[in-house]
Amino acid sequence: MNTPTIIEGRSDAAIADWIAARLSEAMEAQGGPVTITVPGGSTPFPIMAALLKHDLDWTRLVVWPGDDRVVPEDHAASNTGKLRDLFEPAGAEVVTLTEMEAVPHFALAWLGMGTDGHIASLFPNTDPQVDDPRQVVRLTPDPLPPEAPFDRISLTLPALLASDALVFVIRGDDKREILNQAIAGTHNFPVARLLRAATQPVTCFT
């Protein structure tokens, strides 16, 4: 495991600046599309809105949801629908996550984390493994979150680890404690499994 870099107290705009700098570096380092995966939930979308104010060639960006609820994309609970509304007007491509999709290598895997240590939709009850031969899985959280009682589709741990860098945005003291324990290796929640296997740079905004 690479020891994560912890950055505290940054605003949405400052985190967006950091991500924009990473995307700019990736675009300069390679020709063609630059592919990232991003989280859903309430925290990332204001950061994404700030990110899109940056002067980048958004037509070169391909955005993969790290996970989604298994609902139509025009449903209020769909992460993919929200991502389309944000990124497609700027010219970026947004991918629909399916079990048949071949997952690329990501320039950046951006993640959140739940208070139970889940990442993407890899909840503890799903027992995610770093050697899972699948790249995308459909699963049912247990318990189902009451605010989003739907089956999920998610990138797997090896799909997330196939990235040049990992970045977490984690808000709240309870989540910070789970993150600290994951780094220390004192639990085996999905976030700990990911961090333990990570060889790329890991940055955590808290």
Cβ neighbours of residue 99 closer than 8 Å, sequence gap 6 or more = 134, 136, 137, 138, 153
Task: Say yes or no to pLDDT of 2 above 80.
Answer: no
What are all long-range contacts of 42-48, with beta carbons under 8 Å and residues at least 24 apart? 43/112, 43/169, 43/171, 44/110, 44/112, 44/169, 45/82, 45/86, 46/12, 47/12, 47/15, 47/16, 47/19, 47/169, 48/16, 48/83, 48/86, 48/87
Quick: pLDDT tens for 149-160.
999 999 999 999
Domain CATH number, residue 196 = 3.40.50.1360
> Exposed (0-12), middle (13-18) or buried (19+): which is 150, by Cβ within 10 Å?
middle
Quick: pLDDT tens for 122-145.
999 999 999 999 999 999 988 888
Give the global pTM: 0.95
Mean pLDDT of 165-193: 95
Residue 22: the pLDDT is 98
Domain, as residue range, for 52:
5-205
Structural domains in the chain (count): 1
44-58, 131-145, 192-206: range with lowest mean pLDDT: 131-145
